[in-house]
Structure 1
Amino acid sequence: MDISTMRSIATVASLICFLGIWFWAFRRRNKDRFEEAAQLPFIED
């Protein structure tokens, strides 16, 4: 295996990880949890 093949594999693996995280972050099921977390800095104790 040469360096070009290893770079290609790393690029594809990175893209798959990015798409997986993107899909998880934008799922409708997580929307309420993320909106609640976004308001945490504004909540007064």
Structure 2
Amino acid sequence: MISGIYTAILLIVFVGIWIWAWSKKRKPDFTRSARLPLEDDASPTKEDEA
């Protein structure tokens, strides 16, 4: 009985996170994060100067 309730709660939490992540409000953040590896660094780091 307890394991069934625990499983149902975890399923609801999972679906809630999934809906939050795929909401239209999050798209600009994910798009910006996806482009990060493709952008050049504007300022050199100490490792680059050495």
For Structure 1 versus Structure 2, the TM-score category normalised by the shorter chain is 0.7 to 0.9
Structure exhibiting the larger radius of gyration computed from Cα positions: 2
Among residues 9, 12, 19, which one is paired with 1:13 in the alignment? 9
Among residues 28, 31, 40, which one is paired with 2:36 in the alignment? 40
More contact order relative to length (CA 8 Å, sep ≥ 6): 1
* TM-score, scaled relative to structure 1: 0.79
Structure 1 runs, 4 residues or longer, greater than 3 Å off: none
Stretches of structure 2 that go unaligned for 5 or more consecutive residues are 42-50
Identity of aligned residues (%): 39
